[in-house]
Amino acid sequence: MSPANPELLLRELGGWDGALCRRELPCVLPRLISMYQNSDDWTEHIRVLRILTEMFLPHINLSELEQTFFSKVLPKAIQLFDDLLYELSSQAKGLTSQNIELCKTVRNVLQTMVQLLETLTGCVRHICTLQEPVPLESIRTLPSSILYVIKNTFMHCKDSESLYSGCLHLISDLLQSLFKETYSLQKQLMELLDMISMESAEDSIVDMVSVIHTVLEICSVISNMDHALHANTWKFIIKQSLKHYSLLQSHLKHKDILSGLCKDTLFSFHSCLQLAEQMKLSGTQESTDYKLFQRTVKLCKFFANSLVHYIKEFIPFLSDSCCRLHQLYLQIYSKFPPSLYAPVISEAHRDEIARVFLVALDPLIHQLLPFRPFLEQVLSEKLDLSPELHLPQCNLLVTIMDKLPFQPENVQALWTTGSQFSEEVPRLSLFSALFLGFQQCSGELSLPVCLPGVMDNGQAEVPATLYHHLCVHLCAFIASTPPSHFPQLERALLDAVLGSSMITSLLAMDSWCFLARYGTAELCAHHVFVIAHLIKSCPGECYQLSVLGVLLRRMLFLMAPDHQVEFTQKFPPKEAENLPLWQHISLKALTPDLRKQVAHQLCAVGLTQCRQWLSGRCTLGELPPVVREGVTLFIKSRAPK
Amino acid sequence: MQFWVAWPIFTEASCFWKLAQSRQVRLPSRELQGGSTIGLAELVRELVQRSQGGPSTSVQSGRCLVLSNERDADWAAGFGARSGRVNLAAGGRKELRGDPEAAAAPAGVGGIMQTPVSSAVHLSEWQKNYFAITSDTCTPGQKADGYRAQILHIQYAWANSEISQVCATNLFKKYAEKYSAIIDSDNAETGLNNYAENILTLARCQQNDSDKWQSSLTTSNVFELKSVQELMQAGKKFQSSLMAPADAFVVVDKEVSASVTPGLPKLNVCSSAVDTDLWASSSKCISQGPDILESLSSLKCLQSSVPSVTKTTDILPASSAFLNELPNTGFYASPLSGNNKAASSSSVKPPSHFEIGQNLSFSNHSSLLAGSGNPGKRKTFYSSSDESNSTTSSLASSKPSISTEAKNFVGSGNGSEESNGFKTAKEQLWVDQQKKYHNQPQRAPVSSYGGIKKSLGAGRSRGPFGKFVPPVPRQDGNENGGPQYKPYGAGSTESSFPVDERLKNIEPKMIELIMHEIMDHGPPVNWDDIAGVDFAKATIKEIVVWPMLRPDIFTGLRGPPKGILLFGPPGTGKTLIGKCIACQSGATFFSISASSLTSKWVGEGEKMVRALFTVARCQQPAVIFIDEIDSLLSQRGDGEHESSRRIKTEFLVQLDGATTSSEDRILVVGATNRPQEIDEAARRRLVKRLYIPLPEASARKQIVTRLMSKEHCCLREEEVEIIVKKSDGFSGADMTQLCREASLGPIRSLQSIDIATITPEQVRPISFLDFDSAFKTVRPSVSSKDLELYENWNQTFGCGR
């Protein structure tokens, strides 16, 4: 009944209506498909494909779709697409404005490509209109083929500048429409994928996973082409991963997804800064620039939110991505004021970035806090950071310290204890890490870099130096330290005091003095005794000893009077062996009565020593103790009565 | 090598003198007086620069000066040499970002006269810090920063091996001590109080377990720490290096006798001894006081031996031993005198001549010898003979008038110890005050501090006064002990911190008032501390606490409401909820009552309202809690006083009017038990109106168990249930009253005579019977009619269930 001649058939089909198509479907479809598969002319190919999708596709049953249509039609379409693309890239090299013939050919190819894309879009759109959940199995070939097309087209668009070099203007209108068409195809496909239902069949899981991964690849292609598209693509990835969470969670390449997100976050953050820097340099308040800036900041915010969202859901799978996340945080803050490596941007822009983007990034740390691999990364002993990341690392640790008191006890314990067993990944305690990080910020300390201070009692926020900032936050953290973590704290403090960096020792001392005042008097006394004991048992002068001496001197002022009495009983000044200890102490710290008493004792013992020396051989070798007497006498005389 | 401590003082002073007097280098008088606290290095540098620039002084003088003291010379050299590197480390990083080559090439290490540019940069930096430290206009914060910068410089200089370890150590010690005097001091003008204010602001809402802190360090296990082991090793190394020199066993006497001849082996000790002597006496002239005299008089016999000592040239060690017991005598000199008569006559200067003032007449001759004796020994170190001569002459020239001599000593004393040494009258006053306050803590009665504790947080209820107990009380008003103690806050900080722009138009007095009287820093309250009222708690969390914690999410329509009204019968925890809101959202909490706005400043009430809101705006997020809000915002009517009406209007305007922005994170929480009396405009602004009902059975149970857990009691589970059942209709306050009443039961059952003799353990536990009898006296304070009223109002206006 239908003509045997393909050409006649096609011509006849032009007049068919819907009902006829449906009736004739079983016999015409196979013929058309075989015709399609044998066609090698692009125009005919497109024509048949269009007839297939527009006239017959609507009448094919959903369950047969894959079998009778997609599996047969799509591979051929892909082949056509590849041919077109090959043609384009081989012709493009010879393209010049003089060569009109070639130019026409290229334009033709591009037009065909646009038509192909249009047809495919129609195909996808049809399935979207189906108003019923589409099982993935029934359209298996579709997503992967379409994504293949999308990806390659975008790539072509992206490379077009280098590909067509000087002749871009000859075909730019077509490329434009090609891009638009791909855009709408992708949008349509995403709409479709939102609709599909999934079963736990192995096949469909694999399909879905590969879909997501391909979209991820597309993401990296389009990363700097179009903000909205880029954001939507990411939205899609995250939405799909979460929608089929239980099925996909263990199959997705979380690391790739996350590093893609991180990369894009960082990229858009950098472009924000660039824009801000340009605006600052040019000094103009151009609204277009500013709008672009605002959009980019919003994009940053979007990425930050996505990151937070994704991490929240998939945190158990992210153990190998912690390094990336840590780096991301550090890199962002290293480029943001007050880092020394930040570009110069105006205050308003800085605030805007902080308000929109950094606030959104903040919950990231909150989520990662209980996550062991993250803390192992942050507190790692071999964290070999480049100089620009030292200050951000300090900032990160401070942020963590601010948040930690609100975490459950076991999380706090993880952070405050270093690695205790050899099988653990070696890590520092939070305190030691902070002191170490602080020590490394030499440049920021000397400048000094200013950080936002603490808002207090109606005073405006006064910028504080890095030292002040760290000291305040460290002490606030100390104030909330639960008793169970106290031993780690003391050890870290003692280690830092005895460390080789003066400024770190100073920080540790300041914190210790705060601790002494915040804790009980007994605790203060105990610490003083331990320190005094250390000083006493140290065999000779050295730098660390004098630092300890300074600490002892400070702490003695904070001691309760009766503990001071106890101190003089424990370390009686009248015994010569205690003199090295007493030389560090300012008698001003003692109560007047005690002071007088100690002064007398010191004097007496000093005298005895000297007498011994004089009655001995008076050699230089025996001098040091005598010199000590001198100093001790000093102190005594210095003490205001 | 402790004598280093004293060493720079002496050299500083003498160099200074020499130059000031014999070289005609004019220094501003300011430097003359306070100048000795300048590190010697910068002085030297200053002088060298002058000598380079000005024709009147020779370069050579600068050089010889510098060479006179190894320690300071290398310190000064450190300046120049370091500056290249420090630039890289510090300021350089930014400017030199693109040019690492330039930064990496440090200036060559040489003498003092190198690379004038970099060293000048460095010097100016050091000077800047120095002036920050010494000036009167800088805040303690700036001074602390200045000291830290100096310490950093020292650290870098040491790290680059431009100064020796000993030098670095001693400089560190010197500056760290001065620095700590600022950090640890609670004096508002001069100290930072360990940053307590900032810290406690941050730690406001956190748990405070400091009373349970237990140190794990013991005198034995501390040696297991790696850093401590390193310390011990370093100490050991020093010890062995000390023993190494061959001349350790050289007998000192010979050295001394030979000391007049230049170029002898080193003899540090003698100079240190002299130093000590000078130092001691100089410090004495300041710190002398009745106490010293008293202690001297207690050693009268010794004192009387002093004159004889001065005259005797042949002093035996034994007799010098006597002398020693005087705090400051020239004890060190006496061993020298055993062999060197000239020296002895000079060095046994009775230090008492400063105190007593009549003993000043010692001969020109002796002092001259003193001069030649002491620096002479120092000179043997550096083998620079003309230096010693000049010093001698300078000392000699200062001799004729004894007052200059005193000054000389004074200047030397000044350098090393912050609160000693010569000062201007003003500084002296300051020193006195310092002393006073340093002495204070021990005198203050211990009990006034709540036990022996000097602690900040541990075990103290952090009531309005207990914010931070400094280690030493402040000078003002501490005689009466702690309780009057105001949290050390706005009053003092106002002077030192710039005030927020927005507060400029408001009278400072009002701001202070609001800070002091209205801002509340009570103990932290948890949601768990409030029994029952789960619905209200959930609502508040949703609309108040979360938005304050995450302002970025709660924007636009999700934005928090501006006002909440808590209403319900009295004693149901409305106030507690208000406190909890402030605490849990980390907001500043203003607690006001109608009286604080109306009664005190008639006619200024509305200004006060405005000030309150302005301060709150500067302190966002903020919660303004108004207890008994009905009295402040009652229906506006005809028979009302003008002023109260104006206050109301201002309040309404501030709450939501033309000037308020939707961005403000200020929440007004009103509490009342007369909701029906509130003005309708106010009602509109208090968007969320939450009914806080009487506690339910479970809540009452919670109250009872919680209160009883602190007491000695024997209630069984069933009995508690019965109590809960019987107390239906009780408010939270009634429940507390009931428990109070019951807890008195055991006491009442005692015979009245027993009360005087009984031990606390013998009081029987609180039993169910006590509750039973308590029920007879405690009645619910809320009538069912009242309740009905609330229920009705809740139906009409409330937004609860």
Nearest-Cα distance to chain A for B571, in Å, is 30
Most A-contacting residue of B10, B145, B161, B213 (CB-CB within 10 A), to test interface: B213
Mean pLDDT of A447-467: 71
The per-residue pLDDT for A3 is 59
Q: Taking CA A18 as the corner, what is the angle to CA A14 and CA A21, rounded to the nearest 5 degrees?
A: 70
The per-residue pLDDT for B629 is 80
Mean pLDDT of B323-338: 37
* Residue in A546, A627, A638 closest to B283 by CB: A638
The per-residue pLDDT for B75 is 42
Residue keyed to tokens 């020296």: B343
Sequence-distant (≥ 6) Cβ neighbours of residue B601 within 8 angstroms: B607, B608
Q: Structural domains in chain B? A: 3-204 (no CATH), 254-425 (no CATH), 444-496 (no CATH), 501-691 (3.40.50.300), 697-781 (1.10.8.60)
Residue numbers in B near A302 (CB within 8 A): none
* Residue in B272, B318, B446 closest to A630 by CB: B272
Burial class (CB in 10 A: 0-12, 13-18, 19+), B646: middle
pLDDT, greater one: B193 or B106: B193
Alpha-carbon gap, residue A513 to A495, rounded angstroms: 15
The per-residue pLDDT for A325 is 92
Q: pLDDT tens across A216-234, in order?
A: 999 988 887 888 889 999 9
**Which segment of A464-478, B45-59, B109-123, B188-202 scores lowest on mean pLDDT?**
B45-59
A291 pLDDT higher than 70: yes
Residue numbers in A near B187 (CB within 8 A): none
B204 pLDDT higher than 80: no
How many Å separate Cα A461 from the centre of its chain?
A: 28
A149 pLDDT higher than 90: yes
Mean pLDDT of A32-42: 82
Residue B668: phi and psi, rounded to 5, are -100, 125
Cis amide bond preceding B445, omega within 30: no
**CB–CB contact B218 A530 (8 Å):** yes
* Residue in B170, B212, B292 closest to A483 by CB: B212
The H or E element that residue B567 is part of is strand B563-567
Amino acid at B335: P
The per-residue pLDDT for B353 is 38
Give the three-state DSSP class for B564.
strand
Alpha-carbon gap, residue A606 to A603, rounded angstroms: 5
Mean pLDDT of B218-230: 84
**CB–CB contact B243 A623 (8 Å):** no
Nearest-Cα distance to chain A for B351, in Å, is 12
Residue keyed to tokens 């008195």: B744
**Which segment of A603-612, B71-80, B611-620, B763-772 scores lowest on mean pLDDT?**
B71-80
How many Å separate Cα A161 from the centre of its chain?
A: 32
Residues A424, A312 share a domain: no
Mean pLDDT of B686-702: 82
The per-residue pLDDT for B553 is 76
**Which segment of A47-61, B33-47, B134-148 scores lowest on mean pLDDT?**
B33-47
Mean pLDDT of A322-332: 93
Nearest-Cα distance to chain B for A142, in Å, is 39
Residue numbers in B near A619 (CB within 8 A): 248-252
How many Å separate Cα A131 from the centre of its chain?
A: 41
**CB–CB contact B195 A491 (8 Å):** no
B27 pLDDT higher than 60: no
pLDDT, greater one: B110 or A620: A620
**Which segment of A465-474, B109-118, B296-305, B444-453 scores lowest on mean pLDDT?**
B444-453
Residues A419, A350 share a domain: no
For chain A, how are helix, strand and coil distributed in percent, rounded to 5?
80, 0, 20
- Is A470:A438 a contact under the CB 8 Å cutoff? yes
B499 forms beta bridges with A459
B95 pLDDT higher than 60: no
Domain assignment present for A325: yes
Shortest CA distance to B525 belongs to which of B561, B569, B571, B575? B575
Alpha-carbon gap, residue A311 to A259, rounded angstroms: 12
The per-residue pLDDT for B30 is 37
Most A-contacting residue of B128, B205, B210 (CB-CB within 10 A), to test interface: B210
User: Which of A514, A538, A571 is a domain's end point?
Assistant: A514
The per-residue pLDDT for B731 is 83
**CB–CB contact A490 B216 (8 Å):** yes
* Residue in A498, A547, A583 closest to B2 by CB: A583
Mean pLDDT of B771-790: 82
Residue numbers in B near A604 (CB within 8 A): 325
User: Which of A484, A514, A544 is a domain's end point?
Assistant: A514
Query: So what's the ipTM on this one?
Result: 0.80
Q: Taking CA B104 as the corner, what is the angle to CA B103 and CA B110, rounded to the nearest 5 degrees?
A: 100
Residues A421, A351 share a domain: no
In B, minimum Cα distance to A359 occurs at B552
Of chain A, the end-to-end C-alpha distance in Å amounts to: 126
Residues A505, A374 share a domain: yes
The per-residue pLDDT for B246 is 46
Q: pLDDT tens across B536-577, in order?
A: 888 887 777 777 767 777 777 777 777 888 888 887 888 788
**CB–CB contact B173 A518 (8 Å):** no
Residues A504, A409 share a domain: yes
**CB–CB contact B269 A623 (8 Å):** yes
Nearest-Cα distance to chain B for A218, in Å, is 30
Cis amide bond preceding B621, omega within 30: yes
Q: What is the DSSP string of B632-661?
A: HSBPP-TTS-HHHHHHHHHHHHHHSSTT--
Alpha-carbon gap, residue B420 to B433, rounded angstroms: 13
Confidence of residue A337 (pLDDT cuts 50, 70, 90): confident
pLDDT, greater one: A496 or B630: A496
In A, minimum Cα distance to B265 occurs at A620
The H or E element that residue B563 is part of is strand B563-567
Domain assignment present for A591: no
Mean pLDDT of B21-45: 38
Shortest CA distance to B272 belongs to which of B591, B581, B2? B2
Residues A338, A257 share a domain: yes
**CB–CB contact B3 A631 (8 Å):** yes
Domain assignment present for A57: no
Mean pLDDT of A485-493: 89
Helix/strand/coil (H/E/C) assignment for every residue in A154-196: HHHHHHHHHHHHHHHHHHHHHHHHHHHHHHHHHHHHHHHHHHC
Helix/strand/coil (H/E/C) assignment for every residue in B452-488: CCCCCCCCCCCCCCCCCCCCCCCCCCCCCCHHHCCCC
B384 pLDDT higher than 50: no
Nearest-Cα distance to chain B for A265, in Å, is 19
* Residue in A494, A521, A637 closest to B284 by CB: A637
- Is A485:A417 a contact under the CB 8 Å cutoff? yes
Alpha-carbon gap, residue B306 to B304, rounded angstroms: 5
Confidence of residue A331 (pLDDT cuts 50, 70, 90): very high
Cis amide bond preceding B487, omega within 30: no
Residues A339, A270 share a domain: yes
Alpha-carbon gap, residue A374 to B294, rounded angstroms: 66
- Is B571:B734 a contact under the CB 8 Å cutoff? yes
Expressed as residue numbers, the domain containing A274 is 253-356
Top mean-pLDDT range of A302-311, B27-36, B138-147: A302-311
Mean pLDDT of A408-436: 86
* Residue in A462, A506, A638 closest to B417 by CB: A638
A450 forms beta bridges with A465
The per-residue pLDDT for B335 is 37
B26 pLDDT higher than 90: no
Q: pLDDT tens across A82-110, in order?
A: 999 998 888 887 777 778 888 888 888 89
The per-residue pLDDT for B415 is 35
* Residue in A406, A457, A513 closest to B194 by CB: A513
The per-residue pLDDT for B21 is 38
B81 pLDDT higher than 50: no
**Which segment of A5-14, B478-487, B748-757 scores lowest on mean pLDDT?**
B478-487
**CB–CB contact A526 B284 (8 Å):** no
Alpha-carbon gap, residue A533 to A527, rounded angstroms: 10
Residues A382, A481 share a domain: yes
Mean pLDDT of A497-518: 90
In B, minimum Cα distance to A600 occurs at B325
**Which segment of A195-199, B340-344, B726-730 scores lowest on mean pLDDT?**
B340-344
Most B-contacting residue of A502, A507, A547 (CB-CB within 10 A), to test interface: A502
* Residue in B3, B152, B321 closest to A503 by CB: B152
Mean pLDDT of B86-97: 35
The H or E element that residue B62 is part of is helix B59-67
Compute the mean pLDDT over every residue in chain B, rounded to the nearest whole number. Answer: 59
A377 pLDDT higher than 70: yes
Domain assignment present for A496: yes
The per-residue pLDDT for A13 is 78
User: Which of A300, A329, A356 is a domain's end point?
Assistant: A356
Residues A380, A509 share a domain: yes
Residue numbers in A near B284 (CB within 8 A): 637
B227 pLDDT higher than 70: yes
A619 forms beta bridges with B251
A478 pLDDT higher than 70: yes
- % of chain B beyond a pLDDT of 70: 44
B563 forms beta bridges with B668
Mean pLDDT of A552-562: 89
Shortest CA distance to A78 belongs to which of A125, A145, A144? A145
**CB–CB contact A518 B457 (8 Å):** yes
Residue numbers in B near A534 (CB within 8 A): 222, 228, 231
In A, minimum Cα distance to B179 occurs at A506
Mean pLDDT of A566-588: 84
Alpha-carbon gap, residue B272 to A606, rounded angstroms: 16
Domain assignment present for A233: no
**CB–CB contact A538 B231 (8 Å):** yes
How many Å separate Cα A184 from the centre of its chain?
A: 32
Alpha-carbon gap, residue A62 to A139, rounded angstroms: 9
Confidence of residue B594 (pLDDT cuts 50, 70, 90): low
Top mean-pLDDT range of A210-214, A380-384, B6-10, B707-711: A210-214
* Residue in B242, B442, B472 closest to A592 by CB: B442
Domain assignment present for A179: no
B623 forms beta bridges with B589, B667
Confidence of residue A621 (pLDDT cuts 50, 70, 90): low
The per-residue pLDDT for B80 is 38
- Does the pTM exceed 0.80? no
Q: How many domains does chain A have?
A: 2
Alpha-carbon gap, residue A419 to A428, rounded angstroms: 7
Pure H helices in A2-70 = 6-13, 18-38, 42-51
pLDDT, greater one: A415 or B336: A415
Provide the token pair at A459.
């005073």
Dihedral of alpha carbons A452, A455, A461, A467, sign: negative
B588 forms beta bridges with B622
From residue A355, how far is each of A300, A350, B551, B657, B779 by CA, in Å? 12, 8, 10, 26, 55
Residues A385, A341 share a domain: no
Size of chain B in residues: 801
B584 pLDDT higher than 50: yes
Of chain B, the end-to-end C-alpha distance in Å amounts to: 79
For chain B, how are helix, strand and coil distributed in percent, rounded to 5?
60, 5, 35
**CB–CB contact B289 A510 (8 Å):** no
Shortest CA distance to B371 belongs to which of B387, B360, B356, B357? B387
- % of chain B beyond a pLDDT of 90: 0
Alpha-carbon gap, residue B712 to A132, rounded angstroms: 70
The per-residue pLDDT for B18 is 38
Residue numbers in A near B122 (CB within 8 A): none
Domain assignment present for A498: yes
The per-residue pLDDT for B401 is 36
The per-residue pLDDT for A134 is 82
The per-residue pLDDT for B193 is 80
Residues A398, A502 share a domain: yes
The per-residue pLDDT for A197 is 82
**Which segment of A14-23, B227-236, B512-521 scores lowest on mean pLDDT?**
B512-521
pLDDT, greater one: A131 or B26: A131
Residues A322, A388 share a domain: no
Domain assignment present for A390: yes
Residue numbers in B near A435 (CB within 8 A): none
The per-residue pLDDT for A268 is 92
